[in-house]
Each structure stands twice: as C-alpha cells, then as structure tokens.
Amino acid sequence: MALAYHREIDQNTSFAIWKIEESAEELLTQLQLKEHELSYLDTLNKGKRNLHWLSTRVLLRRMMDTDKYIDCKIDSNGKPYLNNFPHHISLSHSYDYAAVMISKTKAVGIDIELIKDKIERIAHKFLNKDELDFIQDSNRVEHLYVCWCAKEAIYKLHGKRNISFLEHITLDPFDFMGSGKFTANLIVKARLRKFTVHYQLFDGYMIGFVADDYEE
C-alpha cells in the first residue's frame, strides 16, 4: 500500500489517498481487529469489497498514528465514527484507491470516484435544471463528477438518511478548473446550511471533500 497523496486542510484536519496494492491477508496483518469485525469481513464478497473495507481501516490507522486499537463503528444512519478517539472521520474508496479524512475539531466528508462516461446517463437524477445548465461542454464528464463528489461529501458529513441529492443538496454555479472550490447548500426541514466544497482531479479520479465546525 503506497501513500499516493496527503493534504493538510488545517492543523487539525487532513485527508489522504492510498493506492491499494496488497492482498487482503497483507492488509489484515496491519490491523487489530476484534471478533465482530472479523465476522463482518466474512460477510463481504471476496475481492474489492473486502479490500476496500480493509484498506480504509489501514489508512485510518496510519493517519491516526497510533498503536492503540481503533474502535471504528457505524451508526444507525451508516456513518462511521470512532468510539475511543475524539476525531471525526469520513471514509471512501473507488477501484484501486482508498480515501480517509479526519479532523479533531470538525465534521468532515470525502468522496473519491473513478471518472467514467456513464455518469452522463444519470446526471438528471442528482442535478436540478439550474445545476445542469452550468455544466461545461468542454469538460462535461469531469464537471459532473465534481458535482457528484460534492453532494456525496456533504451527505457523508451530514450523516443522516432520507437526504436527496436532487432535492436537499444544491450547488452554486462554478467553472471546472481541475481543482478548486465552490459553495453548496443543504436544506433540511427549512433549515439552510452553507458549505465550501473543495475538489481536485487525481490520476483519473475525482476527489471532493468538505469540513465544517457547525454543531447540531
């Protein structure tokens, strides 16, 4: 497993991308898993799902820089959290890469996606008309992936179910530049939260991430 990219957002917040090159057995030797985690692993199909689960946990351990057991759990909404550390976390993976974002002080969300043309077929399912209108023809596929990753990152940060990408998360117009930032909105029960979403193109993948110190 090789560190492909690391970025510090501030002194308490960062994310990293790793290229998955090991076998499941090699990844397992780098973790301290309890019986319930091993049992969960047995329920996953052998192959990418297994490697993705293991690789995000290995990367999380590297970023936490600890020898202690990391009790990473999933809440009732499907959001990962640490039971024995104060850090906020977000996990993502796509094909050959794993991504982890952590912060001591802020809620975080990250998404990584392999760029494929097929996203054009589903764009209308997660973007409204105003959003579709600002997508650039010259970089249409990449621009669409920024929008998807942005909405996914906000969804992960919010950490609650019953959120629609189309109805609850809206993006303000922005030009695709390869990397950059723009503003986005989450509207739930008539309550508006605004975010600054960052994105960057990386080795044929798109990364979108967001951090926020808002408290419910």
Domains and CATH numbers, the chain: 2-110 (3.90.470.20), 112-212 (3.90.470.20)
Predicted model pTM? 0.95
Predicted pLDDT of residue 215: 45
Largest Cα span, the chain: 51
Q: What kind and span of H or E run contains 129? A: helix 129-133
The DSSP secondary structure of 14-31, one letter per residue, reads: EEEEEE--S-HHHHHTT-
Strand-by-strand arrangement of the 179-188 sheet: 107-114, 205-212, 191-202, 179-188, 169-171
Computed from CA positions of residues 107, 62, 110, 201, in that sequence, does the dihedral angle turn out positive or negative?
positive
Q: What is the pLDDT of residues 52-97, one digit of tens each?
A: 999 999 999 999 999 899 999 999 999 999 999 999 999 999 999 9
Task: State both tokens at 164.
Answer: 């629609």
Q: What is the pLDDT of residues 164-204, one digit of tens each?
A: 999 999 999 999 999 999 999 999 988 999 999 999 999 99
147 contact partners, CB below 8 Å, separation of at least 6: 126, 127, 131, 135, 171
Q: What average pLDDT does the segment 2-16 reach? A: 93
Going by C-alpha positions, the residue among 110, 10, 106, 104 that lies closest to residue 56 is: 110
Confidence of residue 47 (pLDDT cuts 50, 70, 90): confident
